[in-house]
Amino acid sequence: MTARPASPAASPTGSTDAAITRELEAWFPAAARALPWRTSPRDPYNALVAEAMLQQTQVSRVIDRYTAFIARFPRVNDLAGASEGDVLAMWSGLGYYRRARLLHAAAKAIVTDHHGVVPHDPEVLRSLQGVGRYTAGAITSIAFDRPAPIVDGNVRRVLMRLHGRAFAPDDRDAERWAWTRASELVHASASPAVFNEALMELGATVCVPPPAAPRCDQCPWAGRCNARREGTTNQIPAPKAAAKQRVVCCISLLARDARGRFLVEQRPSSGMWAGMWQLPTLERETRWPDDAAIRDFAAIRGLNLPTPAEPLGTFTHQTTHRIVRFRVLAASPIACNRKSASRTWVDSFDGLGVSSAQQRALALGITPGRGQTTTPSSRPTPARRSPRR
Ligand code: SF4
């Protein structure tokens, strides 16, 4: 359980925190989106799964995956007892696959160390892999209705605008201030579950991030918001310098055998898309591999490339930290093609953990020409501490 703050902070327009929280709690029931994890009563395991999926991923992408994931692993014991391959397969398309492994590890720890019961104490929750301060606070408050603060990009932005606090992007006090303020408010709330979820909802749907303008006319705090009164909503939060993205160039080979199956490989257990399956793919930082390197790469896998190579298409996949360029080339198996534990022939990607980028690569082979030189479209929502819901 989190400690109650020592002293209340000054509130906008001098109102008490209790009054501020009641306004938001009263607004939420009519404003809340119907989302599959918003069940009544809340299930702590479902909340853990939803929070893991929502990290760095938009709600719209999570909804279908969440429903299928819970159908496949309805209880924490089901997830704990599943193979990593099954878990990754059910995570396919969500990206940031490390989250799936950490969730899997957390489920195992809940079963072995907590008798299969999701803990309610945020400090105990944080001992689980992949559960940070935000996720612990979200589960404690939303699933158990206990006062624990949450701060992500949405919450930080709402609180900063409400109080008119324009912190510099690199000001570490901003994070500390936001957690303190969130803690004061959730302790003053009538229902920590309703208040915290309402705070998330307000940031996701009303007090939205730039470049969109906040919809202040729909905000329950419009009458008390300092940024609105001072006309500074477009200056809070101050813009951050864009993160530098690495460029990775990938040549993926689509080879089919006489039965129409295609060759796939499993990626190494660390690094980008760790442990996921893919078409044989040669990667280089910054520049494209030359023709000789591509042919060597193919030959080692028992594949042959026509001369000249037959391009099936290109596309670009963006992540927060990388711009990944793909060229998909047609290849054919030669007589003695090589299989191994991490390389095999399959009819489809079904049942395998596959990144959305590789699903696009395969689609180019199934529908030649589709996606030729496409613009980036796979960039996930910015980091969790940015808009995500
Ligand atoms: S009034 Fe506008 S800027 Fe202020 S909290 Fe509400 S939506 Fe955000």
Per-domain boundaries in the chain: 12-235, 246-366
Ligand 1 pocket, residues with Cβ under 6 angstroms: 158, 161-162, 206-207, 214, 216, 219, 221-222, 225, 227-228, 233
* Span from the CA of 70 to the centroid of ligand 1 (angstroms): 35
Closest CA to ligand 1's atom 8: 207
pLDDT in tens, 76-97: 999 999 999 999 999 988 888 8
Q: How confident is the model at residue 155 (pLDDT cuts 50, 70, 90)?
A: very high
In the predicted structure, residue 10 carries a pLDDT above the cut 90: no
Atom of ligand 1 nearest to the CA of 216: 2
* Span from the CA of 208 to the centroid of ligand 1 (angstroms): 9
Atom of ligand 1 nearest to the CA of 206: 7
pLDDT in tens, 114-124: 999 999 999 99
Q: Which residues are catalytic?
A: 51
pLDDT in tens, 59-71: 998 998 999 999 9
pLDDT in tens, 233-292: 999 999 887 778 899 999 999 999 889 899 999 998 888 888 899 999 999 998 999 999
If you write DSSP's letter for every residue of 293-345 in order, what string do you get? HHHHHHHHTTEE--SS-EEEEEEEEE-SSEEEEEEEEEEEE-TT---BTTEEE
Question: Which of 225, 229, 230 to mutate to test ligand 1, by most ligand atoms within 8 A of the CB atom?
Answer: 225
For position 387, what pLDDT does the model report? 38
Atom of ligand 1 nearest to the CA of 218: 7
- Kindly give the pairing relationship between strand 322-333 and strand 246-255: parallel
Closest CA to ligand 1's atom 4: 225
For position 202, what pLDDT does the model report? 98
pLDDT in tens, 293-351: 999 999 999 999 999 888 999 999 988 789 999 999 999 998 655 667 788 999 988 88
Residue indicated by tokens 């280089």: 284
Other CB atoms within 10 A of residue 211 CB: 7
Q: How confident is the model at residue 370 (pLDDT cuts 50, 70, 90)?
A: very low
> Exposed (0-12), middle (13-18) or buried (19+): which is 314, by Cβ within 10 Å?
middle
Superfamily of domain 12-235: Hypothetical protein; domain 2 (1.10.340.30)
In the predicted structure, residue 222 carries a pLDDT above the cut 90: yes
Superfamily of domain 246-366: Nucleoside Triphosphate Pyrophosphohydrolase (3.90.79.10)
Amino acid in position 46: N
- Using CA atoms, how far apart are residues 31 and 45, in angstroms rounded to an integer? 25
In the predicted structure, residue 15 carries a pLDDT above the cut 80: no
For position 150, what pLDDT does the model report? 98
Reduced to 3 states, what is the DSSP secondary structure of residue 264?
Answer: strand
- Using CA atoms, how far apart are residues 256 and 332, in angstroms rounded to an integer? 6
In the predicted structure, residue 13 carries a pLDDT above the cut 90: no
373 is written with which tokens?
Answer: 């030189």
In the predicted structure, residue 382 carries a pLDDT above the cut 60: no
Q: Please state the rounded mean pLDDT for residues 102-114.
A: 98
Question: Which of 162, 181, 201 to mutate to test ligand 1, by most ligand atoms within 8 A of the CB atom?
Answer: 162
For position 3, what pLDDT does the model report? 46
For position 216, what pLDDT does the model report? 98
* Span from the CA of 41 to the centroid of ligand 1 (angstroms): 30
In the predicted structure, residue 5 carries a pLDDT above the cut 60: no
In the predicted structure, residue 174 carries a pLDDT above the cut 60: yes
* Span from the CA of 190 to the centroid of ligand 1 (angstroms): 22
Q: Which helix (H) or strand (E) holds 9?
A: none
Handedness of CA 177, 180, 184, 189 (dihedral sign): positive
Query: What is the pTM for the complete model shown?
Result: 0.74
